[in-house]
Amino acid sequence: APPTKMDKDQLTAEGYYGIFGRVGARIEIPGCSLCMGNQARVADNSTVVSTSTRNFPNRLGKGANVYLASAELAAVAAIHGKLPTVAEYQEYAKELNATAADTYRYLNFDKLDSYVEKADTLIFQQAV
């Protein structure tokens, strides 16, 4: 799940949501859904890699074996169908390093046209 709607909008604009959909990825609603435990459950006794920030027994499903991982590790695990070896992960990390400035840039609301345009239409009132 992207952490915010702003991140979701950016991923959509860059075409990543379409890619995720075509490969069958399940994407949760941006926001606190995963933190609050509001996500769908996995099949009983399954093993999953999750990018959620919390884990405890049976949180994602009855008897589920859950590994918490970064988005990068979860993506590599999805490609390999298993947790990768250090060497397998490092191969993908090389590609990440080459695009790190773009991949890990911080999204600022005040720099995105769609949010600036919306903010310009708001009327602020001050208490008197």
Contacts made by residues 77-80, CB under 8 angstroms, sequence distance 24+: 77/49, 78/25, 78/49
Three-class SS state of 115? helix
Q: Return the pLDDT at 90.
A: 95
Residue 42 lies in a domain: yes
Residue 93 lies in a domain: yes
State which residues form the domain around 10.
Answer: 5-120
Read off the CATH number of the domain in which 100 is found.
3.30.499.10
Residue 126 lies in a domain: no
Q: Return the pLDDT at 20.
A: 85
Residue 125 lies in a domain: no
Q: Return the pLDDT at 15.
A: 92
Q: Return the pLDDT at 34.
A: 58
Residue 127 lies in a domain: no
pTM across the whole model: 0.67
Residues in the chain, overall count:
128
Count of domains forming the chain: 1
Please state, in angstroms and rounded to a whole number, the distance separating the CA atoms of residues 68 and 82: 13
Q: Return the pLDDT at 80.
A: 93
Chunk the chain into consecutive blocks of 10 residues (it has 128) and report each block's average pLDDT, rounded to whole numbers: 82 89 81 63 89 79 90 91 95 88 79 80 78
